[in-house]
Structure 1
Amino acid sequence: MKPTIPPQSFGDSTLHGGLAPTESASASPFAPRASLFDACHVGVVLRVVLFTQAVAGVAAMFATASVLDWLLAFSLLTGGVLPATLCWLIAVCALKTRLNRLAPWGQWLGGTLLGTLTGLYGCGLMALLGLAQPAQWWASGAAGALLSAVVLAGLFWRARAAMPAATAARLAELQSRIRPHFLFNTLNSAIALVRAEPRKAEAVLEDLAELFRHALADPAESVTLGQEITLAQRYLDIEHIRFGDRLRVQWSLDASADAARLPPLLLQPLVENAVRHGVEPSAGGAELKISTRRRGSTVVIKVTNTAPAGSGPPGQGLALANVRERLFLLHDVQAQFSTAFKDGVFQVRLEVAF
């Protein structure tokens, strides 16, 4: 005889937007040190190039009186500034692993020295081409050091944006996002299964333990899409105990996309959001579809759920905001996040670099 699972209210605060905290790392002594040298992203390269070119454009204004003179001076400066900037970015990206092993002050010193050297390189290049007579070696070296220090400050701020100030902040954030009712419902389901189906009760508790293990683990590093899919499957296995036939799931997975990198606990909050807004409020349940597909150098992830008749699109709540923020912190301009609601079907679509 199959046991009856007592109905429980999910409440309004469940794994609230997922088990993962908004930020992606802890500043505790046990967490990896924040890297200043995250200059290998396309978005970072674009911003650094635009910043240095803007500085060069403003500097050219001080030595010119007309627009044509400014364009000429700016073009001459670009001949030295742009190669020097690209050289600095390439060097910082190539030496990223070694520089990250240094203490913070060593990282700052290394990046600034590289800026000085590339500033001298730019000056030498302009002198070689006859664009700077006489060559301003001291000014170029100082400018390279100053600009690299400003860029490093920006990279440091970007890295700090991905982590809370202390372990206590991370734990408080995590605690505020865990829905007590989810835990209670799962434990009640396991209790109801203990005598009649002990193996299934054991599986439910194992899935719950795995979810909380991932929530409490240090999420400083990215994980693979394959790992995220496995975790989402465990979550849905738990929810199947409570919702039964009301929860209908369809998987359409591309194995070649499993190696894509994602922030930890990114897919599970999306699946939970679909259960919360699709299955939970509907007496007849809902259909969920999770699909992945690799398209060249990108991977497309879709989470779709049917909504109860007469309901509108789910609000852009904490769950989706959490996912969007952490996705862009990892992939920057190489990531896309969008939602759509049409004909009673809500879809979240993610696109990330492979």
Structure 2
Amino acid sequence: MPNFCEVRNLLVVVLVAQLLAFILVLAEPAGGERWQSLGLVSLFVQWIVLGSAALLCLLRTWLARWGMVGGALAAYALILLMALAVSGVGHWLFAPYAGTAVRIDFMLRSLTVTAIIAAVALRYLYVQHQWKRRLESEAAARIDALQARIRPHFLFNSLNTIASMIPQAPAQAEAAVEDLADLFRASLSRSDRLVPLRNELELARDYLQLEALRLGDRLKVEWATERLPEDALLPPMTLQPLLENAVYHGIEPHVQGGTVRISGAMESARLRLCLSNPLPPARHRRRSGLGMALDNTRQRIRLALGPKADLTALAEAGEYRVELVLPYVSKPDEDTDR
């Protein structure tokens, strides 16, 4: 059941109710008082709809205790009771001298139309709820798979590099082990919580430091993230897969290496993060995995932060650029903290 206390949902309800009023008036035989009829029908329908929305808003917590089936039946009964009450009041106001038979016929017709419309609406909400649950389950599975998908060659190479460093540079080897532990700790953490941007940037630095131990001077990194708010929230492990692609596709294939650039800024309550790396040589451009990571990241940010979040990729001037646009969220709320 959507939250009818929200203005956005209430606006949708009002618009749908007005559309229903138009349909009811157009279904009547043509006459000279159609505009007057539209006004009365609109007033009548909006009373029922807004009254039902107010009841469902006030009793939302109570309805949630009944479960899906019980809550739906209780909501259906409340809507029918509201239609019955509005029909009685409306008939008393606009036709106070009509006979009892006419009043009962009017109330029964109103109740029948309301019962059909409410049943269709509740069925639609149930189907939408099931679709959303399937979408969230699929996205959660993809998130878990993406978090667990730290390429084996990266792990093996990192461990071999650390092992070779232990005799000559034990302190540096210890720091590398800590970076690797932080990376895997993040990959095993809960995927349904948002984390501050500062955590993601620290994790990205840990990952690039590990890759720098293996690639040496071939990997150069440029940071320009000073203008980003570090308290901004985003899904965990958002940047690491993109940086992993940048190293795997843009740095490793080049003998001379290249530069990975991470920049960002705040624009009109939105974060704009850009990651760029050199394009791989033509013979290496069919490496797999790039599109999957981009699609998964795009779905993750849209699921967590809404449709305003987006990810785009563009290859131009010898560079491959990935741009993240995220709405600025600084504290968890009902829509982001799941």
Q: Distance in 1 between matches of 2:272 and 2:59?
A: 31
Pair 1:183 & 2:155 matched:
yes
Q: Is the 8 A contact 1:256 1:294 kept in 2?
A: yes
Q: Deviations over 1:151-204 (max 9, x none)?
A: 2441342133222599xx789846973321111111111101112111211121
Bigger Rg, which one: 2
Counting only pairs closer than 5 Å after superposition, residues 34-183 of structure 1 correspond to structure 2 as 45=9, 52=16, 56=20, 60=24, 63-64=27-28, 80=45, 84=49, 88=53, 106=67, 109-110=70-71, 113=74, 117=78, 124=86, 127=90, 134=106, 136-137=110-111, 139-140=113-114, 143-144=117-118, 146-163=120-137, 173=145, 177-183=149-155
Match of 2:198 in 1: 226
Q: Is the 8 A contact 2:3 2:9 kept in 1?
A: no
Match of 1:195 in 2: 167
Pair 1:298 & 2:262 matched:
no
Q: Is the 8 A contact 1:41 1:332 kept in 2?
A: no
Name the structure, 1 or 2, with higher relative contact order (CA <8 Å, separation 6+). 1
SS at match of 1:259: coil
Q: 1:207 to 1:112 in 2, by over 3 A?
A: farther
Larger fraction in helix: 2
Among 315, 320, 325, the alignment partner of 2:299 is 325
Give 5+ residue unaligned stretches, structure 2: 95-102, 329-338
Match of 2:258 in 1: 286
Q: CA deviation at 1:270?
A: 1.0
Q: Is the 8 A contact 1:254 1:294 kept in 2?
A: no
Report the residue type matching 2:312 in the other structure: S
TM-score (norm 1): 0.67
Among 270, 280, 290, the alignment partner of 2:242 is 270
Q: Distance in 2 between matches of 1:290 and 1:86?
A: 52
CA RMSD of the aligned region, Å?
4.7
Q: Distance in 2 between matches of 1:155 and 1:115?
A: 17
Pair 1:247 & 2:211 matched:
no
Report the residue type matching 2:168 in the other structure: A
Q: Deviations over 1:113-168 (max 9, x none)?
A: 557657876894995997xx9562564366346514522441342133222599xx
Q: Is the 8 A contact 2:4 2:10 kept in 1?
A: no
TM-score (norm 2): 0.70
Q: Among the aligned pairs, what percent are the same residue?
A: 30
Give 5+ residue unaligned stretches, structure 1: 1-35
SS at match of 2:307: helix
Q: 1:259 to 1:52 in 2, by over 3 A?
A: farther
Q: Is the 8 A contact 1:338 1:349 kept in 2?
A: yes
Q: Distance in 2 between matches of 1:285 and 1:89?
A: 63
Q: Is the 8 A contact 2:139 2:300 kept in 1?
A: no
